[in-house]
């Protein structure tokens, strides 16, 4: 018998697993196509803009989009009901393993840092409130941050006043948007290895506090997550 001819495969069958009681299962049949598995995509973050997505033909003739390299995604700001396509800058936390953080692997549930300027600019156009202090900034720096002022007419001023009556913003999000080169913490909710996208939502409130504490604990060399 020549072992070189045998190939290992990935299967989702449980026939090779033991019973809950510890007994061995009797393998009474061969593997099936519908129990086949595939290697994980291990999607990597590439901030330089390189995007690589492969298509995979799956059972029934359907298509999956296997993302191998991604640099951006659509992230929604839930409390404001707005979404923007922004660059993903870094992977900062993953509950599964710190190895996925070190290798900047994008998976569902990963906490990432995205650019905050598009959201801050939208907030200014929506409410007329500039979250970034531009009093001591040069014009070139304002253009770089996208914080140029809008000449508001009477109609726009009335709209801003009406919208501001119900205006609220999370303190944690506001603190992140008030600095130059603002960055926001977000969470990925899509499956990059299945749909080819890394989309998610901006962290707010208790959830933002929770992940901020986790990250601070990791930085201080606390217990492994």
Predicted local distance difference test score (pLDDT) of residue 149: 74
| Closest C-alpha to 120, from 143, 147, 144 | 147
Q: What is the mean pLDDT of the chain?
A: 88
pLDDT band at 84 (very low <50, low <70, confident <90, very high): very high
Predicted local distance difference test score (pLDDT) of residue 151: 77
Percent of the chain past pLDDT 70, that is, above it, reads 88
What does each C-alpha distance from 124 to 128, 147, 163, 166 come to in angstroms? 5, 9, 12, 15
Position 224 pLDDT exceeds 60 = no
What number is the average pLDDT over the span 89-107? 95
- Cβ-proximal residues to 219 (8 Å cutoff; 6+ apart), any chain: none
Residue 16 gets which letter from DSSP? T
Position 93 pLDDT exceeds 80 = yes
Over residues 132-175, the pLDDT tens digits come to 776 656 666 666 666 667 777 889 889 989 988 888 899 999 99
Least confident of 81-85, 147-151, 178-182: 147-151
Predicted local distance difference test score (pLDDT) of residue 136: 59
More confident residue, 51 or 147: 51
Within the chain, where are the H helices? 98-102, 117-127, 139-145, 154-164, 171-177, 192-195, 205-219
Rounded distance, CA 182 to CA 26, Å? 59
């Amino acid at each position: 018998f020549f072992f070189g001819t045998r190939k290992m495969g990935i299967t989702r069958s449980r026939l090779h697993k033991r019973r809950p009681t510890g007994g061995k299962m009797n393998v009474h049949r061969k593997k099936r196509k519908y129990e086949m598995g595939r290697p994980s995509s291990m999607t990597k973050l590439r901030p330089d803009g390189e995007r690589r997505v492969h298509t995979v033909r799956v059972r029934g003739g359907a298509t999956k989009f296997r993302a191998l390299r991604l640099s951006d995604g659509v992230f929604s700001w839930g409390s404001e009901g707005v979404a923007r396509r922004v660059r993903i800058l870094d992977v900062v936390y993953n509950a599964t393993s710190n190895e996925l953080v070190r290798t900047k692997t994008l998976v569902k549930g990963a906490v990432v840092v995205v650019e905050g300027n598009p959201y801050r600019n939208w907030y200014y156009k929506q409410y007329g409130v500039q979250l970034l202090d531009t009093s001591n900034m040069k014009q070139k720096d304002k253009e770089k941050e996208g914080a140029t002022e809008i000449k508001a007419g009477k109609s726009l001023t009335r709209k801003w006043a009406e919208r501001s009556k119900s205006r609220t913003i999370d303190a944690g999000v506001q603190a992140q948007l008030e600095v130059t080169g603002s960055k926001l913490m977000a969470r990925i909710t899509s499956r990059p290895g299945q749909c080819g996208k890394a989309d998610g939502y901006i962290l707010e409130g208790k959830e933002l506090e929770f992940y901020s504490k986790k990250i601070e604990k990791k930085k201080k060399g606390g217990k492994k997550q």
